A and B are shown apart, each in its own frame.
Chain A
Amino acid sequence: MTPTPVWRRALPYLLLLAAAILLPFTGSTYWGVIATRAAIYWVLVAGLNLVVGFAGQLAIGYVALLALGAYTTSVLCARTGIGMVPALAAGGVVGALFGVLVGLPALRLRTFYFAMATLGFATIVTQVALAWTDVTGGGVGVPGPSLPAPFDTPWGFYAACVMLAALATWMTANIAASRFGRALVALRDADVAAEASGIAKAPLFVTVFLFSGAAAGIAGGLFADLQTYITPDAFTFDLSVLFFIAILVGGRGSILGPLLGTLLLTALPEVAAPLVAWSTFLYAALLLLIVLLMPGGIAELLDWRNRRPLTQDRVVLPRPALLADLLPERHRAPALAVRDVRLAFGGVRAIDGLSLDLHAGEVHGLIGPNGSGKTTTLNVIGGFARPQSGSVVLGATRLPQGAPAARARHGIARTFQTPRMVGEATVLDNVMIGGGVTARAGFMEAALRLPRQLREEAALVRRARLALGAVGLDALAAVRCDRLQHSELRFLEIARALLAQPDFLLLDEPAAGLAAPEIHELGALIRALAARGVGVLLVEHHADLIFAICDRVTVLDLGRVLAAGKPAEIRAHREVVSAYLGA
């Protein structure tokens, strides 16, 4: 499959924009107001979409931020007499600040808790608006602001809102297509893999909450202008539900879907006036149907490409030669050493005084029976598990414990026993998740498509294609990841890990579920990696593979090293042979 050309991806947006430009020629003020409303809601939903649709955080009470933006803008205009444009900017700032405040619990709380917290916040904002009479006017409210000419007429205001909506669309689409969008989706669907790829949750979430809060605040200011007058009554829970459902109806991880969802849900009550009493009931029914029957929403419905059948009987054919281009000749990293690590879960000792050295350019096998501590060792090296004593040392640097997202910067990458991929993203996007750690361009550079961002993105795509070629998956680059076979996912995980240009690669049972020829290809690939200077730690059950490709083997038993040495020595080790190799 070839990637969709840019113009075809932009086509639906351009059609919508054309429709928006043509609307005034119908002369219907009424539909003008409805379309203005839809544009304003979309400014908010576009930002919220990054939180809900991409980061997967169920922020239900975003009407609170709409209210904050509306009140900030209106109160500033009414009481200080500054123009609406600076007031609108202030509304955006207030929205951004509170967006972070509301969002912070998402860093620590589970989904349902977070949903509840946002709901509670929405109630509180309304109550404060009512009680703080001196500023907000209480129940009497405040008059809404008005944009300066030429945006002070209904159609002028419509134009301003459509322009902002288009800007919001463009910016969020840019973010979605950047490493930030991929990182959000990765945190949503494969958080462990995201952290192993060097994606730190906290700073990214704070940035996204700032952005979506600002969008919501600005939408609030526009909302106040449209309403001409705001009271706390205007910020109903139904509105929150509408925003939220628009995204889910549209489909997670899509921009076009939620945009269509917003238009649909804004216009629907106008067309179906007799059902007004049932509108929230119908929204809820729609949500339930979407969740149960079509979790992908409108976006999935529109995704024709991924309904085309893939070729059956695909074979993964790695081309290790491409590694030369992907992993250029570098300075060899110092050894990675695990020193006297002890770690117990409750009363069970998972690792009990383990030490091992991993050298650049070497394949180091780690074997042992189930429960002997192999994966736990990987977790300690990868920063996922926090040992009670002992350390992981890279050259002279002691690596911090329990900070997995910091490992990628130290040149450590890994794969997982069960592949952790983003099923809804393409194969290429999944690989590129691994390369985020090498990029420098910031969030706003991505949102505005500034030159550095474009340069880095192009380089990343090129390297991702190289990595896919190296592991033999380049033909599947544009396919949704959840359509791949299990064996393909194993190779895909390696490609993703390679994009971080690691010095050390931790592979957790990469041959599990592979057919014999594939295991053979895998072995060759691993050897080629070592030849490029990568130190590989290989946890495996396939003894043949271990002995065929390892330079060194460590055997674990009950969290302790039973034997360590060259494959030939291990093969001859009496205890190992009698216990595991079944002589």
Chain B
Amino acid sequence: MLEAVIVSGVAIGAVYALIGITYNVMYAASRVMSFTSGQLGMLGGVFGAWFILRLGLPVLPGAVLTLSACALVGLATEIVAVRPVLASLEKHLYVLSTLAFALLIQQFVAIEWSTEPQPFPRLLAFGDALIDQKFWLPLAACAAVIVALEIIYRRTLVGRAFLAIAEDGFAARALGLPERRLRMASYALAGVIGGLAGFAGGELMLAFFANGPLLSFYGFVPVALGGLGNNRGAIIGGLLLGLFQQAASFLVGGLFVSVATFVVFIAVLLAAPQGLFGAAAGRRV
């Protein structure tokens, strides 16, 4: 019993963690938190189901096409909803532009795809020996993303440039770093990560338009609690959230889970607005 709760909690938690990283990657490049993060996860599932089940592609090309499509959506987010408002004096416009863009994506999928959850293909022909693949795939994807990010950020020149931008965009620009191209690359990367979350968790989440807002919220909770821009916090927070939800629905059940998640979220944020691992805000004048 306990094992089943842990397995499913970690699986769904890994999806949340990946969406949390999606938030962070976008934030690092632009100081923007985007409502489209969860929609990317939803699209990972929908595109996967579309390419593999509806169009009948094999799994590997299907995965490549899904992630590419999500990268394009990430790029579109940058071009349509982020870049135009970055220059604006009103610093919160991004909340509105990304909310609008996220709603557009979600409604479009609802109308053109389906309002009912659709099946998602089984990805591997093996790997169900100990634990069903739908439970360990998200965790594997999460680990792969962490390793890949670590390599990109620490070992490559582009990655260091990413970090420089995240640290201080103004100084990075002054150093002559191509901030705009790096930002676009970051959004494409975020698209891939978000898409991967939905793709790896596809069997768990199904190809369902309403996963978008759900993931946007539950993916944001670990980011907010762990501290914005802090991937380690997002992963720990995501896994804990998944475990908490499963444990709570096993122990108490019912409506309690979503209410409790919300209350904890608000309470922690009010006590520590920067998150548990976050840094304090800078000077205002």
Interface residues of A (CB under 8 A from B): 56, 58, 60, 104-105, 108-113, 115-117, 119-121, 123-124, 127-128, 130-131, 189, 191-192, 237, 241, 248, 277-278, 280-281, 283-285, 287-288, 291-292, 295, 345, 375, 379, 382, 384-385, 416, 423
B273 adjacent to A109 (CB under 8 Å): yes
Question: Cα distance A280–B101 when bound, in Å?
Answer: 12
Looking across the interface, which residue of chain B has its beta carbon closest to that of A375?
A: B285
Looking across the interface, which residue of chain B has its beta carbon closest to that of A281?
A: B107
Please give, as numbers and ranges, the residues of chain B lying within 8 Å of A345 by CB-CB distance: 283
- Minimum C-beta distance from B42 to chain A (A): 15
B155 in contact (CB, < 8 A): no
Question: Cα distance A375–B85 when bound, in Å?
Answer: 30
B103 in contact (CB, < 8 A): yes
Can you list the 5 inter-chain pairs with the closest CB atoms, starting with the nearest? A284-B103, A281-B107, A288-B100, A287-B100, A112-B33
Question: Cα distance A35–B248 when bound, in Å?
Answer: 46
Question: Cα distance A284–B96 when bound, in Å?
Answer: 10
Please report which residues of chain B, range 191-219, place their CB below 8 angstroms from some CB of chain A when the two chains form the complex: 213, 217
Please give, as numbers and ranges, the residues of chain A lying within 8 Å of B170 by CB-CB distance: none
Question: Cα distance A115–B92 when bound, in Å?
Answer: 11
Please give, as numbers and ranges, the residues of chain A lying within 8 Å of B95 by CB-CB distance: 58, 111-112, 115
B100 adjacent to A111 (CB under 8 Å): no
B103 adjacent to A105 (CB under 8 Å): no
B262 in contact (CB, < 8 A): yes
18 sample A-B contacts, Cβ–Cβ < 8 Å, listed by A number? A58-B95, A112-B95, A115-B95, A117-B265, A124-B258, A127-B258, A127-B259, A130-B255, A131-B255, A237-B213, A248-B96, A281-B103, A287-B99, A288-B104, A292-B80, A292-B84, A345-B283, A384-B285
Question: Cα distance A283–B101 when bound, in Å?
Answer: 11
Given contacts A280-B107, A292-B85, contact A113 B96 (CB under 8 A): no
Please give, as numbers and ranges, the residues of chain B lying within 8 Å of A284 by CB-CB distance: 100-101, 103-104, 107
- Minimum C-beta distance from A30 to chain B (A): 27
Q: Choose from A58, A116, A120, A283 the contact partner of B92 (Cβ within 8 Å).
A: A58
Question: Cα distance A310–B264 when bound, in Å?
Answer: 54
A128 adjacent to B99 (CB under 8 Å): no
Q: Choose from B97, B224, B254 the contact partner of A113 (Cβ within 8 Å).
A: B224
> Per-residue CB proximity of B81-102 to A under 8 Å, as 1/0?
1001100111011011101110
B97 adjacent to A288 (CB under 8 Å): yes
B266 adjacent to A123 (CB under 8 Å): no
A119 adjacent to B217 (CB under 8 Å): yes
Looking across the interface, which residue of chain B has its beta carbon closest to that of A248?
A: B96
Looking across the interface, which residue of chain A has its beta carbon closest to that of B101?
A: A288
Between A280, A345, A375, the greatest number of chain B beta carbons within 10 A of the residue's beta carbon is seen for A280
Question: Cα distance A375–B283 when bound, in Å?
Answer: 12
- Minimum C-beta distance from A203 to chain B (A): 18
A124 adjacent to B262 (CB under 8 Å): yes
- Minimum C-beta distance from B262 to chain A (A): 5
Question: Cα distance A104–B267 when bound, in Å?
Answer: 11
Between A113, A283, A379, A382, the greatest number of chain B beta carbons within 10 A of the residue's beta carbon is seen for A113
In the complex, besides A113-B273, A287-B103, 18 extra interface pairs with C-beta distance below 8 angstroms are A105-B266, A108-B269, A113-B224, A113-B269, A116-B217, A120-B266, A127-B255, A127-B258, A128-B255, A192-B285, A237-B213, A280-B107, A281-B103, A281-B104, A281-B107, A292-B85, A295-B93, A416-B285
Q: What interface size band does chain B fall in?
A: 35 or more
What is the interface of chain B mostly: helix, strand, loop, or mixed?
Answer: helix
B108 in contact (CB, < 8 A): yes
Please give, as numbers and ranges, the residues of chain A lying within 8 Å of B96 by CB-CB distance: 58, 248, 287, 291
- Minimum C-beta distance from B272 to chain A (A): 10
Question: Cα distance A292–B258 when bound, in Å?
Answer: 34
Question: Cα distance A360–B83 when bound, in Å?
Answer: 49
Looking across the interface, which residue of chain A has its beta carbon closest to that of B80?
A: A288
Question: Cα distance A124–B217 when bound, in Å?
Answer: 13
A288 adjacent to B217 (CB under 8 Å): no
B111 in contact (CB, < 8 A): yes
Between A124, A277, A375, the greatest number of chain B beta carbons within 10 A of the residue's beta carbon is seen for A124
Please report which residues of chain B, range 250-285, place their CB below 8 angstroms from some CB of chain A when the two chains form the complex: 254-255, 258-259, 262, 265-266, 269-270, 273, 283-285
B244 in contact (CB, < 8 A): no
Please give, as numbers and ranges, the residues of chain A lying within 8 Å of B107 by CB-CB distance: 278, 280-281, 284
Please give, as numbers and ranges, the residues of chain A lying within 8 Å of B255 by CB-CB distance: 127-128, 130-131
Question: Cα distance A120–B265 when bound, in Å?
Answer: 10
Question: Cα distance A297–B273 when bound, in Å?
Answer: 32
A288 adjacent to B90 (CB under 8 Å): no
Please give, as numbers and ranges, the residues of chain B lying within 8 Å of A111 by CB-CB distance: 92, 95
Q: Choose from B90, B99, B104, B108 the contact partner of A115 (Cβ within 8 Å).
A: B99
B285 adjacent to A285 (CB under 8 Å): no
B162 in contact (CB, < 8 A): no
A291 adjacent to B273 (CB under 8 Å): no
- Minimum C-beta distance from B40 to chain A (A): 17
Between B111, B266, B269, B284, the greatest number of chain A beta carbons within 10 A of the residue's beta carbon is seen for B266
